[in-house]
């Protein structure tokens, strides 16, 4: 198998495509959550602080920007929380689909009765 054929086979496998889509969606989702933290959540928190410029302006030494670090930590926590809720919803949907499939596969009482009649007729 040539290098090009092998690479083509690798690149079009489902896992690679799924991973690519996941990375793209994750980057877009990260931007949405960052905007939610910076544009929605932090404007509500900043007035509670004594600092005039907002808490991202906190500096505790030459070049040590504590406020920006805390903002990055907060963004990380909010992204984790949002991802947790998203995965939780996906798992609930998967369980719901599994239950629907189980119900579809289980024979109804009428089907059970017809199977018993069929088995009795065979004897």
Per-domain residue ranges of the chain: 3-122
> Residue 66 has what pLDDT?
85
When mean pLDDT is compared across 11-15, 94-98, 105-109, the lowest value belongs to: 11-15
pLDDT-based confidence at 118, cuts 50/70/90? very high
Residue closest to 78 by CA, chosen among 45, 36, 49: 36
> Residue 117 has what pLDDT?
93
CATH class of 3-122: mainly alpha
Which pair of tokens denotes residue 114?
């017809």
pLDDT-based confidence at 60, cuts 50/70/90? confident
| pTM score | 0.50
């Amino acid at each position: 198998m040539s290098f090009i054929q092998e690479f083509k086979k690798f690149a079009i496998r489902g896992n690679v495509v799924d991973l690519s889509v996941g990375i793209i969606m994750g980057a877009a989702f990260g931007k949405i959550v960052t905007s939610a933290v910076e544009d929605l959540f932090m404007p509500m928190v900043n007035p509670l602080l004594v600092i005039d410029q907002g808490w991202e302006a906190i500096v505790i030494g030459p070049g040590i920007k504590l406020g920006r670090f805390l903002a990055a930590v907060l963004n990380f926590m909010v992204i984790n929380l949002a991802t947790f809720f998203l995965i939780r919803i996906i798992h609930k949907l998967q369980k719901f689909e599994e239950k629907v499939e189980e119900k579809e596969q289980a024979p109804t009482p009428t089907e059970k009765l017809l199977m018993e009649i069929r088995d009795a007729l065979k004897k």
